[in-house]
Structure 1
Amino acid sequence: MPFVAITYDIESGYEDEVAEVFSDFQRPKSAVVPDADGRQAGRILATAVFVRDSLLVRFIEFEGDLDAVARHMAAQPGVQEVERRLKPYLRSPRDTDTVEGFVRTFNNGMLRCVTQLSVPRSAG
């Protein structure tokens, strides 16, 4: 399954406050990512967030269309709340108040994937 890593440029010294923002994050009830017509365009399988000094990175493991994943995330109340709560700790503002702004910020914050290795997963 592919991964994407999204960076956030945060103020140094606020690692604990930023960790608190993510501490009560709730996953959406469904991992399914719909397309514009409501059909399944992918799934968000897992997320992880790491922070050190002025860098926060969110890793997302997904299946399907990455643009649909970004658009789906933009509409999630939990993601919107995290983005709102992070604003005081950002060194660089993030335009995430609209779906278009969120997708643009998502794409601009992506790290280039250099390699990705995994073992096969079994269904049991």
Structure 2
Amino acid sequence: MPFAAITYDVKSGFEKEITEVFRGFRRVRSSVVEDDTGRPEATILSTAVFIRDATLVRVIEYEGDLDAVARFMANQPGVREFEERIAPYLSRPRSTATIEDFVATFKRSLLNPVVQFSVRDR
């Protein structure tokens, strides 16, 4: 299963407040990502968030099309709410007002994968 890591440029010294923003996150309504016709395009398997000083990273484990995952996330009410709540703690604003803006920001925020290992790959 592939992983994607997304960075957020955050202000140092607000780790506690940022952690609270994530604790209040409303999960997506389904882990299955469907296209406009209802056909499954991807599945979000798990997520994790890490923070230290001015670096925040969200890791997403998924199957399928990562672009579909980004479009799906852009439409989720909890994600929209999260983007509003995290904004005061960002050192570099994220443009996420529209689906297109969200997807472009998502892609710009991706870390380049170096290597991924899993016991499931055996």
Structure 2 CA distance for aligned equivalents of residues 24 and 10 of structure 1: 18
- The residue number in structure 2 matching 1:34 is 34
Number of residues paired by the alignment? 121
Residue 120 of structure 1 aligns to a residue whose secondary structure is helix
In the superposition, the TM-score normalised over structure 2's length comes to 0.95
Match status 1:118 vs 2:113: no
% identical aligned pairs: 59
Structure 2 CA distance for aligned equivalents of residues 47 and 78 of structure 1: 14
Shift of the alpha carbon at 1:29? 3.2
- The residue number in structure 2 matching 1:49 is 49
Shift of the alpha carbon at 1:12? 0.5
Structure 1 CA distance for aligned equivalents of residues 32 and 119 of structure 2: 23
- The equivalences for 1:1-124 within 5 A come to 1-120=1-120
Shift of the alpha carbon at 1:97? 1.2
Structure 2 CA distance for aligned equivalents of residues 53 and 46 of structure 1: 24
Unpaired runs of at least 5, structure 1: none
Unpaired runs of at least 5, structure 2: none
Residue 62 of structure 2 aligns to a residue whose secondary structure is strand
